[in-house]
Amino acid sequence: MALIKSVKGILPTFGKDCFLADNATITGDVIMGEGCSVWFNAVIRGDVHSIRIGNNVNIQDGAIIHCTYQKAPVNIGNNVSVAHNAIIHGCTISDNVLIGMGAIVMDGAVIHSNSIIGAGALITKGTVVESGSVWAGLPARKVKDIDQSLLEGQVNRISKNYKMYAGWYDEK
């Protein structure tokens, strides 16, 4: 069973049909929507500010979601994939976004809908990623506009697949 801890009397809450891996950690002021999954070794720490996560969001293995004390909460929309070992810190991520493996999204950044942040990318503090774009690099820059096949083939496919993968695990 996942490690779920209250902080200052606030316990995380979850919508229906969420999968929480046995060694995922979720603490404090976290509200998660329906059909989400939090995978092995992922950490969602709502101890210093609030974390709000929409529906059908997958937080993959080793990802970290955290905030900045009294300054920067985390808000994540619907149908978002946060890939393996990504770090999401004090930022806003809109609907239908893929955050690639090992990517870092820093305080005050805003990732608008229908976008991809490439694997290993660094989205620096306060960066605004416009809707429908692909960003990559260190620091990340826009590399192209997203087309419908990339949106369907990556962003939507991964979001749907992780909901399916969660259904494969037996509850004990």
Q: What is the pLDDT of residues 60-98, one digit of tens each?
A: 999 999 999 999 999 999 999 999 999 999 999 999 999
Instruction: State how far the Cα of 49 lies from the Cα of 102, in Å rounded to an integer.
Output: 23
What is the rounded distance in angstroms from the CA atom of residue 134 to the CA atom of residue 109? 15
pLDDT at position 172, please? 53
Which residue, 106, 55, 107, is CA-closest to 81?
55
- Spans of all domains in the chain: 3-167
DSSP labels, 36-57: -EE-TT-EEEEEEEEEEE-SS-
Q: Tokens in use for 38?
A: 């939090």
pLDDT for position 150: 87
Residue among 38, 45, 11, 14 nearest 24 (CA): 38
Q: Is the pLDDT of residue 1 over 90?
A: no
CB 88 within 8 A of CB 65: yes
Record the pTM.
0.96
Indicate the class that CATH gives domain 3-167.
Answer: mainly beta
